[in-house]
Chain A
Amino acid sequence: MALASEVHALAGEPEVLPGLRAGKVAVWWFLASETMVFGGLIASALVVRLGGEGWHEASAHLGVTLAAVNTLILLTSSLTVVQAFAAAARGDRASTSLSLALTVAGGLAFLALKAVEYTTEVRAGYTPASGIFWSFYYAMTGLHALHVAAGVVVNAVLLVAGRLRTPQRVELAGLYWHFVDVVWIFLFPLLYLS
C-alpha cells in the first residue's frame, strides 16, 4: 500500500469531491459489477423457471431448516462486521479483533453447513446434472459460497495482520461482506422457499 498512499499523498491538493476516498469508490464500483454477475444468474433462473416446470417439486427436496439456520448465521455475521468497524473507528483494538473473529467464524460456519447440505443432496442423488433446478441451485449457491470464502479470507487477513488494519479497510471489508449477505437474501427464497 506504500505506493498507493504515495500517489494519493503526492496529489496533496484538496480533494475535488470532499470526503471521497479512492478505496470506497473502487469497492462500490466493484460491487456494482458483482451485482450484475448475480443479477444475470438470478434473472436467468427466473426466466427459465417461468418458462419451465418441476421447480417447485425439485426445490422441495432441499433442507429448509438447515438453510434457515445458515441464513441466521450469515445475517448475524453482518452485525458483527459492523461492530468491528465501529470498534475500529473508536480505536478499540481488542473489540475489533473479537468482532472480526466472530465474523470469520460466522462465515466458516456458513460454509460448513453448506457443505453438509451439498453432501446430503448429492447422497440423495441430486447432482448438478439432475435437472435444470439443480443446475441453477449448485451454480448459484456455489458461486455465492466462493464469495463467502473470499470474504472470510479478507476478514481473516484483517484479523491477523494488525498492521494492515485501518478503520477504512474494516469498513470496506464490511461493505463486501454485506453484499455477500444481500445476495444470499435473494438466493434463499428463490431456491429454498419456491
Chain B
Amino acid sequence: MGQGAVVVTTARAHGPAQSWVSRVFSTDHKTIGKQYLALGVFWAVVGGLLAGAMRWQLAWPDGRVPGLGEIGPDTYNMLVTMHGTIMVFFVAMPILLGAFGNFLIPLMIGARDMAFPRLNMLSVWTFALASLVLLASFFVPGGAASAGWTAYPPLSARPDYSGVEWGLNLWILALALEFASFLMGGVNYLTTAMALRAPGMTFFRLPMLVWQQLTAATLFLLSVGPLIAGAVMLLLDRTLGTGFYAPELGGDPLLWQHLFWFFGHPEVYVIFLPALGIVLEILPVFSRKPLFAYRWIVWATVTAGALSFVVWAHHMFQSGMDPRLAMPFSVTTILISVPFAFIVFCMIATLWGGALRFDPPMLWALGFLTMFIVGGLTGIFNGSAPADIYLRNTYFVVAHFHYTLFSAVVFGGFAGLYFWFPKMFGRLLPARLGTLHFWLTLVAFNVTFFPMHHLGLAGMVRRIANPLQYDLLVPYQWVNVVATLGALGLLGAQVAFVAAVVQALITGRRAPANPWEANTLEWAAPSPPLHLNWGARVPIVHRGPYEYSRPDQPTDWLPQHAAAAPAGR
C-alpha cells in the first residue's frame, strides 16, 4: 500500500504538468525552507543597509549619509528600531529556524515532510504577509516605528510621544503575524519530530541540530504568549485609550518590560540554539571525530532552555523595579553561562586531536565558536548587577550583544549555508571564494565591534545620533570612525558570498549526495532531494549520528542508515 502511494505521489509532483503556481504555493518542506531563506536574505540586506546608515551617521555626524541625506535624531531612532526589529525577527528567525528547521528536520529524522504540510505553507505565507506589513510601515505618514526594538512604554504607548502613529501600529501587527507564523512552525517542528521519526531514530540518535531546533521551538512556544498579551495591551493603549501602561489610569509601564523580556531573553536562545545546532553538526564532520558528550550536550541545552525563563529581569536592573530582584536575577544569569560554557568545552573537545578539514563550513563554525566565546565572556560583566549599573545602555552592551548574536546569525548562518548549500541547491559552492568571504567577514566584524567595548567603557550610550554633541565622547570619535570603516568593510565582504552563489549556480559543479562524507540522514537523499525525500522506503536508522573514525570500519564515516561492515575486517 505504501509503495503504490509513493509512485502516485512522486509522479504527480514531478510530472511535466507542474506549474509555477504549485512551485510557489508549495507544501514541500524544502521549498518552504528556501522561501524562508529568501525572505530572510532580503531582510538581511535591508537590515544591513540600515546599520550601515547608522554607522555612517555616527562616524561623520555632521555630514550627509549617502542615499538618506542628513539624518536627525528622529530618523536615527527609526533606523535603530527597525535595524533591531528586522535583524532579530525578520532575519535571524526566518533563516535559522524557518529555513534550516524546515529544510533539515524532516530530512534529518527520516520523514517525508512535516506532520502538517499545509499548516507549514500557511506559516511561511503568514510570514510573507508580516514582511509586507513591516515593509509598508516604512512608507506610511509619520514613518516607521521609532520607539526602539523593545518598544518601551510610555514612549510607545502614546502616538504623540514618539510622533509615530501608523508606523508603530503596523510594527505591532507585523510582529503579531510573525509570531503567529512561528507558532505554527514551532507546533509543526515539535509534532514532526515526536511523531514522524524513521524506524530506529530514537531521541538519542537525533542529530544535534534537531535537538537544538526543538528546544528553540519549545522556548518560543512557551515564552511568546505573555508578549502577545502585552502587545495586545500596547495596541489597545494606543488605539482605544486603555491604561495598561499608563500610570495615570492605574497601569504600569514596567509591566511591558517584564512581559517583553520574559519573551525577549528566551528569544535570544531561540535564535542562538539553532545556530549552535548548525555548528554542532559541522564540527564532528570536519574533525572526523564523534561529537564529544552528546547526551550531556542535550541535557545542558535543556537546562539552559529552562533557565532562560528565569533570567529576564537582568535587562531591567536599573528600570526602577524592586532592587531586591537584582541579586536573584544576577545569580540565574551567571548560572546560565554554566551549561553554555560546558557546550563550548564539548565543542573544543570535539576538535581536540581530530583530523581537521578547513573547508568553508568549518571555518565559519570555528568563527562562530571563537567569536561566541568573546561574547560569552562579556556577558558575565553585563549579568552581574553591580557591573551592569555602569555598563547598562552603553556600547559595551551593543558589543556584547553583537558578539553573541552576530556570531550566531552570521557565522552560524553562513556555516549552515556553506554546509547545506549543496543539499539545498544541488551545486557545490566554490571553496576559495568561501574562504575569502570568511576571512574578510571575520576581520571586518572584529574591526566593527571590538572597538565598541572601548566606546562603551568610555561612556558612549546607545541610540544617540550625534556623539560629537557630548564633550566626553569627542576624544573617542576616531574609534567611531574605525568601527564605521569596519562596518562598511563588513557590508562589502558580502559581495564575495554573492559572487560565490552566482558562480555556483551558473558554473558550479553538481553536488554528489554526500559531498562532506557526513553521517546524518539528509546526506542519504539525492542533492537536491526529491519531493517526499525518500524513494520507495524511508531509511532505517541503525546508530547515532556521529560515528566517525570507527577503528572497525574501512571508511572514517559510517552513515546512520548504512549497515556496518562486518567486524574483524
Binding site for B on A (CB under 8 A): 3-4, 6-17, 20-22, 25-26, 29-30, 32-41, 43-44, 47-48, 51-54, 128-129, 131-136, 138-139, 143
- Of all chain A residues, the one with the shortest Cβ separation from B199 is A13
A-B contact pairs, 28 of them (CB 8 A): A4-B115, A6-B5, A7-B114, A9-B5, A11-B198, A12-B2, A16-B195, A16-B202, A17-B195, A22-B116, A26-B115, A26-B187, A26-B190, A29-B186, A29-B191, A32-B221, A33-B222, A36-B225, A37-B229, A40-B227, A43-B226, A44-B244, A47-B258, A48-B244, A48-B250, A48-B252, A52-B250, A128-B236
Tell me the bound Cα distance from A14 to B116 in angstroms: 19
Give the number of chain B interface residues (Cβ < 8 Å).
57
Question: For residue B532, which residues in chain A have a CB less than 8 angstroms away from its CB?
Answer: 7, 10
Residue-by-residue, is B187-202 near A (CB-CB < 8 Å gives 1, otherwise 0)?
1101110111111011
Q: In the bound complex, do residue A9 and residue B1 qualify as a contact, i.e. CB atoms below 8 Å apart?
A: yes
Q: In the bound complex, do residue B195 and residue A20 qualify as a contact, i.e. CB atoms below 8 Å apart?
A: yes
Question: For residue B243, which residues in chain A have a CB less than 8 angstroms away from its CB?
Answer: 129, 131-132, 135
Q: Is B356 an interface residue (CB 8 A)?
A: no
Tell me the bound Cα distance from A157 to B196 in angstroms: 28
Tell me the bound Cα distance from A53 to B511 in angstroms: 68
Q: In the bound complex, do residue B255 and residue A25 qualify as a contact, i.e. CB atoms below 8 Å apart?
A: no
Q: In the bound complex, do residue B229 and residue A40 qualify as a contact, i.e. CB atoms below 8 Å apart?
A: yes
Q: Which parts of B156-207 form the interface with A (CB within 8 Å)?
A: 183, 186-188, 190-192, 194-199, 201-202
Q: Is B338 an interface residue (CB 8 A)?
A: no
Q: In the bound complex, do residue B250 and residue A10 qualify as a contact, i.e. CB atoms below 8 Å apart?
A: no
Question: For residue A15, which residues in chain B have a CB less than 8 angstroms away from its CB?
Answer: 195
Tell me, rounded to whole Å, the shortest Cβ–Cβ distance linking B458 to chain A: 38
Binding site for A on B (CB under 8 A): 1-2, 5-6, 9, 27, 111-118, 183, 186-188, 190-192, 194-199, 201-202, 221-230, 232-233, 236, 240-244, 249-252, 255, 258-259, 262, 532, 538
A13-B188 contact, Cβ under 8 Å, with A7-B115, A40-B227: no
Shortest 8 CB-CB contacts between residues of A and residues of B: A36-B225, A40-B226, A132-B250, A135-B242, A129-B241, A37-B225, A40-B229, A12-B2
Q: In the bound complex, do residue B251 and residue A25 qualify as a contact, i.e. CB atoms below 8 Å apart?
A: no
Q: In the bound complex, do residue A138 and residue B229 qualify as a contact, i.e. CB atoms below 8 Å apart?
A: no
Q: In the bound complex, do residue A37 and residue B226 qualify as a contact, i.e. CB atoms below 8 Å apart?
A: yes
Q: In the bound complex, do residue B250 and residue A54 qualify as a contact, i.e. CB atoms below 8 Å apart?
A: yes
Tell me the bound Cα distance from A30 to B2 in angstroms: 30
Tell me, rounded to whole Å, the shortest Cβ–Cβ distance linking B367 to chain A: 34
A129-B1 contact, Cβ under 8 Å, with A11-B538, A139-B233: no
